[in-house]
């Protein structure tokens, strides 16, 4: 997969994209991530990328020319057209695991990070093919949102996660939060690991994990449970066990 990111602050990406799973995926050639500085596509000597809003008002607005030209140059260089051009904006559709799964199927994505107080509406209307928000809050720019999208999408690319840390057991992958995990020591400060996990009975462990995932989702994110596929018997068990705290 190839991901091109357009930003006014390209330095933001260096550290997060050079750590851990994403770093390994890039080194293995599973994902090619290229950062472009929008200012490189300006034509004046001051590299002006923003301007005053028509009609007045506070703040500056990202100009359309460098953003349109950057996408056109990149598309031409790559010999592609009609690639998904995703604008990161608090006004976009809400990002979720299912949106990440949808994007992970694409061979190529272009992400545009908005900045300042806004961007020229013609970028939204005539360039972006999709607009994504990572939550109902306003960030200073789209850079952190783009990093969230890249991370969530990249870990779904086949081969990026080893089989030992498969994306299938992640929270949200089956519409439920992930079950609790423990590691050694078996007893820490008097708190024991649930005995089923040291029983060696894989059937019981799988059932315990499934039920804990259901219970945790019901307590913390009941809104998700409508989507999660739980059977009648599991629902009954859940209602009986919901009264305990945590």
With CB under 6 A as the contact rule, which of the stretches 18-26, 41-49, 102-110, 136-144 interacts with ligand ADE? 136-144
Active site residue 121: no
Tell me the closest approach of the beta carbon of residue 138 to ligand ADE, in angstroms: 5
- Residue 4 has phi, psi (to 5 degrees) of -105, 135
With CB under 6 A as the contact rule, which of the stretches 8-16, 139-147, 207-215, 223-231 interacts with ligand ADE? 139-147
Selection from 167, 172, 179 nearest residue 215 by Cα = 179
Active site residue 107: no
Q: Kindly report the CA angle at 131 between 125 and 133, in degrees rounded to 5?
A: 140
| Bridge partners, 110 (sequence order) | 4, 85
What's the CA dihedral at 29, 31, 32, 34 to 10 degrees?
Answer: -150
- The residue from 7, 12, 133, 217 that contacts ligand ADE (CB under 6 A) is 133
Is residue 142 at the binding interface for ligand ADE, with CB under 6 A as the rule? yes
With CB under 6 A as the contact rule, which of the stretches 40-48, 56-64, 85-93, 210-218 interacts with ligand ADE? 85-93
Active site residue 240: no
Active site residue 155: yes
Is residue 54 at the binding interface for ligand ADE, with CB under 6 A as the rule? no
Euclidean distance between CA atoms 165 and 150, whole angstroms = 18
Task: Mark 90-119 with x for binding to ligand ADE (rule: CB under 6 A) and - for no binding.
Answer: x-----------------------x-----
CA 113 to chain CA mean position, Å: 14
Euclidean distance between CA atoms 45 and 57, whole angstroms = 26
Selection from 89, 83, 80, 87 nearest residue 128 by Cα = 87
Size of site (CB under 6 A) for ligand ADE: 13
Tell me the closest approach of the beta carbon of residue 98 to ligand ADE, in angstroms: 17
Active site residues: 90, 117, 155, 170
């Amino acid at each position: 997969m190839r991901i091109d990111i357009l930003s006014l602050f390209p330095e933001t990406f260096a550290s997060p994209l050079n750590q851990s799973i994403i770093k390994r995926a890039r080194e293995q050639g599973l994902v090619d991530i290229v950062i472009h500085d929008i200012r490189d596509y300006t034509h004046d000597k001051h590299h002006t990328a923003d301007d005053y809003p028509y009609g007045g008002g506070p703040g500056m607005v990202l100009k359309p020319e460098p953003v349109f030209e950057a996408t056109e140059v990149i598309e031409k260089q790559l010999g592609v057209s009609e690639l998904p051009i995703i604008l990161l904006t608090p006004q976009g559709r809400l990002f979720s695991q299912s949106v990440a799964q949808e994007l992970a199927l694409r061979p190529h994505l272009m992400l545009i990070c908005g900045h300042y107080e806004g961007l020229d509406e013609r970028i939204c209307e005539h360039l972006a093919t999709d607009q994504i928000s990572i939550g109902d809050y306003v960030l200073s720019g789209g850079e952190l949102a783009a990093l969230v999208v890249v991370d969530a999408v990249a870990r779904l690319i086949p081969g990026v996660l080893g089989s030992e840390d498969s994306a299938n057991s992640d929270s949200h992958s089956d519409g439920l939060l992930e079950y609790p995990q423990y590691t050694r020591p078996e007893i820490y400060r008097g708190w024991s690991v649930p005995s089923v996990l040291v029983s060696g009975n894989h059937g019981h462990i799988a059932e315990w994990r499934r039920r804990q995932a259901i219970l945790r989702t019901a307590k913390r994110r009941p809104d998700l449970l409508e989507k999660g596929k739980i059977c009648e018997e599991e629902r009954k068990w859940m209602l009986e066990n919901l009264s305990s705290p945590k």
